[in-house]
Amino acid sequence: MSREARGRRRSGSLYRNGAACTTQIRGEIRGKLHAETIVVGGGVIGCAIAYELASRGKEVILIERARIASETSSAAAGMLAADSETFHTTVMSMLAYESRKRLHQQKEQLELLSGIEIGLQQSGFITPFRNEAEMKKYSDSRRSTVLPTEQIWWDHSKLQREAPWISKETFGALYRASESELLPVNLARAYAGAAQTMGAKVIEGVQNVSLIADSSGIQGVETSIGRLTCKHVVVAAGLQGGEILKQVGLNLPTLPVKGEIAAIQFAKHDADYRPDKTVYADNVYIVPKANGEVWIGATSLPGRSDREVTVEGIQKLLASAAGWVPGIQQAQFIRAWAGVRPSTPDGLPYLGACKCVPGLYTAFGHYRNGILLSAITGSLMADLIAGHSSEELGIDELRPERLSRKEIMQ
Ligand code: GLY
């Protein structure tokens, strides 16, 4: 059977609850397994790495403790906000732009090989202001943004023409035409499905992962389904990444930042009030999705790792959102959910090879930009595994041991 046919065979309903739900990626595998690379973690980052390795003809097994995209990736809004996010380092800005570009380039192949539509839409983002002082304060706060942002200014009347659904009280807005967004769970499942079509093994429900390493480096992982042997292990386990690295004496702190998000829907006769562009304001974002819903996010609660949705959190989000898009008050509430972002003390992800354990790599700590940075992370990790150095790839700042060198626990 051709790759395309296999991809189509796995395809299911496209946009139910923001996800293609019928794909089954579950291995009934027990006993000895071997691959050149084992990826630990089936969030969007791990899936993107498996996809990239498989597309380069490499042998890869991806293991996930629960289901694909069941944790942080399922809580994201899916914005590819390379221009709208504030990055304080050149490397992060450059990776964000490159990754957004790659995601657009990958869309067709991903959908073809997986049979899952990722809901990618490039409708542009607007950042609105209530008055001139607010706009100036925002511009000052962005002075540290290291690369020029692609944006144009829309004054009150232009904004009302282009976005008639926005509050009449709005002074003006920055419009960023290159920004886009997608359905995050679909993206992760499409990466996993496409990787499988190209020969990767994707196994869900694999627990109790222990790294096996000796003086010559990584040898594999011990798991609830048995021992898996390999030459390389990539830990892409988000918040659990730090715990796994402790097994080999590395301290890579990973801090939880909980976020709550809600989905609403406009009735057909209220279509004129539905935003057709993402609103990326200082206190809320409002994202019209390809599945017909509008997602409103997100709270930010450092130190919280539970996934409870609070009335207070959702109340605040909906009130802020209705301040910008008044029609939201008439929309139907669909659901709300929460997830936990994996952040790091210096705000940079741990991307690279671990110097003290040859063959061990890390790819976690993407905080609020895992979806945006997925494509470039997949490509960089495949380059590192192929023997390129962090210096050559321009990502030495992100090396995993940067914070722990003095704290290596023996
Ligand atoms: N990606 C936006 C957020 O984490 O809220």
Q: Does the C-beta of 258 come closer than 6 Å to ligand 1?
A: no
Last residue of a domain, one of 343, 375, 394: 343
Question: pLDDT tens-digit profile of 207-244?
Answer: 999 999 999 999 999 999 999 999 999 999 999 999 99
- The pLDDT assigned to 192 comes to 98
Q: Does the C-beta of 54 come closer than 6 Å to ligand 1?
A: no
What letter would DSSP give residue 136?
A: H
Residue 104: inside a domain: no
In this structure, are 260 and 315 located in the same domain?
Answer: yes
- The pLDDT assigned to 292 comes to 96
Question: pLDDT tens-digit profile of 325-341?
Answer: 999 999 999 999 999 99
Q: Which atom of ligand 1 is nearest to the CA of 371?
A: 1
Q: Does the C-beta of 76 come closer than 6 Å to ligand 1?
A: yes
Last residue of a domain, one of 320, 343, 366: 343
Residue 227: inside a domain: yes
Q: Does the C-beta of 256 come closer than 6 Å to ligand 1?
A: no
Centre a 10 Å sphere on the Cβ of residue 283 and count the other Cβ atoms it contains. Answer: 11
- The pLDDT assigned to 18 comes to 33
Residue 113: inside a domain: no
Are the C-beta atoms of residues 240 and 340 closer than 8 Å to each other?
Answer: no
Residue 299: inside a domain: yes
**pLDDT category of residue 32 using cuts at 50, 70 and 90:** low
Residue 313, pLDDT above cutoff 80: yes
**pLDDT category of residue 17 using cuts at 50, 70 and 90:** very low
In this structure, are 287 and 335 located in the same domain?
Answer: yes
In this structure, are 221 and 299 located in the same domain?
Answer: no
Q: How many folded domains does the chain comprise? A: 2
C-alpha of residue 285 to centroid of ligand 1, in Å: 9
In this structure, are 268 and 225 located in the same domain?
Answer: no
Percent of the chain with pLDDT over 90: 85
Last residue of a domain, one of 343, 375, 392: 343
In this structure, are 272 and 330 located in the same domain?
Answer: yes
- Distance from C-alpha of 110 to C-alpha of 74, rounded to nearest angstrom: 18
**What is the pLDDT averaged over residues 38-61?**
98
Q: Does the C-beta of 341 come closer than 6 Å to ligand 1?
A: yes
Question: pLDDT tens-digit profile of 247-295?
Answer: 999 999 999 999 999 999 999 888 889 999 999 999 999 999 999 999 9
Q: Which domain holds residue 281?
A: 125-177+255-343
Percent of the chain with pLDDT over 70: 90
- Distance from C-alpha of 114 to C-alpha of 195, rounded to nearest angstrom: 8
C-alpha of residue 226 to centroid of ligand 1, in Å: 36
**What is the pLDDT averaged over residues 64-76?**
94
Question: pLDDT tens-digit profile of 115-129?
Answer: 999 999 999 999 999
Residue 325: inside a domain: yes
Q: Is the dihedral of CA 53, 50, 346, 141 positive or negative?
A: positive
What letter would DSSP give residue 382?
A: H
In this structure, are 161 and 305 located in the same domain?
Answer: yes
Residue 93: inside a domain: no
- The pLDDT assigned to 406 comes to 45
Q: Which of 295, 317, 368, 374 to mutate to test the pocket of ligand 1 (most atoms within 8 A of CB)?
A: 368
Token representation of residue 165: 């659904």
CA 217 to chain CA centroid, nearest Å = 30
Q: Which of 179, 261, 341 to mutate to test the pocket of ligand 1 (most atoms within 8 A of CB)?
A: 341
Bigger pLDDT: 141 vs 346: 346
C-alpha of residue 234 to centroid of ligand 1, in Å: 24
Q: Is the dihedral of CA 185, 237, 101, 75 positive or negative?
A: positive
In this structure, are 152 and 198 located in the same domain?
Answer: no
Q: Does the C-beta of 366 come closer than 6 Å to ligand 1?
A: no
In this structure, are 259 and 315 located in the same domain?
Answer: yes
Q: Which atom of ligand 1 is nearest to the CA of 79?
A: 1
Residue 287's closest CA among 167, 171, 183?
A: 183
Centre a 10 Å sphere on the Cβ of residue 177 and count the other Cβ atoms it contains. Answer: 14
**What is the pLDDT averaged over residues 343-372?**
97
- The pLDDT assigned to 25 comes to 43
- The pLDDT assigned to 29 comes to 56
Q: Which of 258, 289, 369, 371 to mutate to test the pocket of ligand 1 (most atoms within 8 A of CB)?
A: 369
Bigger pLDDT: 134 vs 4: 134
Cα–Cα distances in Å, from 190 out to 114, 136, 235, 330?
A: 5, 41, 20, 34
Q: Does the C-beta of 77 come closer than 6 Å to ligand 1?
A: yes
Residue 404, pLDDT above cutoff 80: no
C-alpha of residue 363 to centroid of ligand 1, in Å: 18
Rounded to the nearest 10°, the torsion over CA 84, 86, 94, 187 is -60
Mean pLDDT of the chain: 91
In this structure, are 139 and 67 located in the same domain?
Answer: no
C-alpha of residue 368 to centroid of ligand 1, in Å: 4
Token representation of residue 359: 């063959």
Q: What are the helix (H) ranges across 56-171?
A: 72-75, 90-114, 132-141, 156-162
Look up the CATH number of the domain holding residue 281: 3.30.9.10
C-alpha of residue 369 to centroid of ligand 1, in Å: 7
Nearest CA residue ID for atom 1, ligand 1 = 368
For the ranges 19-23, 53-57, 252-256, 362-366, the lowest mean pLDDT is seen at 19-23
In this structure, are 291 and 318 located in the same domain?
Answer: yes
In this structure, are 246 and 263 located in the same domain?
Answer: no
- The pLDDT assigned to 28 comes to 47
Residue 306, pLDDT above cutoff 90: yes
Place of tokens 């994202």: 287
- The pLDDT assigned to 30 comes to 54
Residue 298's closest CA among 326, 337, 346, 255?
A: 337
Look up the CATH number of the domain holding residue 363: 3.50.50.60
In this structure, are 264 and 326 located in the same domain?
Answer: yes
Bigger pLDDT: 165 vs 23: 165
Nearest CA residue ID for atom 5, ligand 1 = 298
Residue 94: inside a domain: no
- The pLDDT assigned to 150 comes to 87
- Which residues, 6+ apart, have CB-to-CB distance to 136 below 8 Å? none
Give this prediction's pTM: 0.92
Token representation of residue 156: 């009150």
**pLDDT category of residue 31 using cuts at 50, 70 and 90:** low
Bigger pLDDT: 20 vs 138: 138
What letter would DSSP give residue 182?
A: -
**What is the pLDDT averaged over residues 154-165?**
97
Token representation of residue 234: 């990539």
Residue 320: inside a domain: yes
